[in-house]
Amino acid sequence: MWLRNLRQPAVVAIAIYILMFAVYAGFQGGFAVSPYGLAILANSTAALVFAAMAVSVVMLTGGFDVSVVGIIALANVIAASFQVQSVPGALALYGLVILVGALFGLVNGLFVAYVGLQSIAMTLGTMIVSSGCALLILDTPGGTVPAVISYGLTDSLGVFPIAGIAILCGTALLWVLLRRTTVGLRIYAVGQDATAARASGVNVPRITAVAYVLSGMLAATSGFMLAAQTGTGDPRFDPSMLLLAFAAAAIGGTSFSGGRGSIIGSVVGAGILALMQKTLFVVGVSSFYTGIFQGVLMLVAVVIGRFALAGEEE
């Protein structure tokens, strides 16, 4: 049993992260584990973590959501366009961002689940629309994210980075939703075999639509965290964020064919990619090689996942 668990992609991802952090800490010394060092690491990881969650939820149903980066850009500029001054105001602004993300996710879900459009085609369209909306709000990079958000989400609560707390809370909530609720279990069932799920009484279109709504909300959260990290708005979507989000999901063991995966694995995968950039920098490796290392790591993770699946089928 324990040998089989060791072959699980999420377990492998956790082991890789621990090893990579040890290397990083070896070069950085005490700074790596200091409250300030951990806060920097958490702040640089948070946006990618929520983006990886967003694409993973839809991947579990067997679909793909590329509108994530457009929603991130839109959430980013919204956060930089309202100068709230208090915590309740910041929470209200976050609620607005979440609502916008959910609306785009709902549009994706309705057209994919009920109209039958291909997920890539549909979400590519909403990516363009959401990016256009971002440009209407803020036509050039600029604006200022309110201090209560930019400082509040990048600060530390004692020795614990607030961004790290947000990552842990978001991961825990999504894990419970997917693993301990009927909706979550049905999302997995749809991805494994939609026909069998339908025969078992699962409302496949409704569950599919729910997955896209969740994805939109998580993407909006990613954009909100990115705004806090950068302190400014940027209406331009970043294609590399989308690629890294899918890579993080793959490293964590989420299957591109649907029905298999771990949100914890996707989160750790995002952590690996973010930590890899910092580790390569402190080691002295040119940033030009970062993409190569990330791509190789993704391919290795996919191969490990394939062998793990073959072992379970034996």
User: Using one digit for the tens of pLDDT, what is the confidence trace for 20-79?
Assistant: 899 899 888 888 889 889 999 999 999 999 999 999 999 999 999 999 999 999 999 999
Asked if residue 52 lies in contact with residue 201, where contact means CB atoms within 8 angstroms, the answer is no
Predicted pLDDT at 309: 53
Q: Quick one: what percent of the chain has pLDDT higher than 70?
A: 94
User: 130 falls in which pLDDT band (50, 70, 90)?
Assistant: very high
Predicted pLDDT at 72: 97
User: 282 falls in which pLDDT band (50, 70, 90)?
Assistant: confident
> Of the CATH numbers 1.10.3470, 1.10.1070, 1.10.150, 1.10.20, which one belongs to the domain with range 2-313?
1.10.3470
Handedness of CA 184, 187, 191, 196 (dihedral sign): positive
Instruction: Name the β-bridge partners of 156.
Output: 161
What does the buried/exposed string (b/e) look like for 136-156 if buried means 16 or more CB atoms within 10 Å of the residue's CB? ebbeeeebebbebbbeebbeb
Q: Does the model's pTM come out above 0.75?
A: yes
DSSP label of 232: S
Predicted pLDDT at 308: 55
Question: Is residue 211 pLDDT above 50, yes or no?
Answer: yes
Going by C-alpha positions, the residue among 144, 147, 172, 170 that lies closest to residue 81 is 144
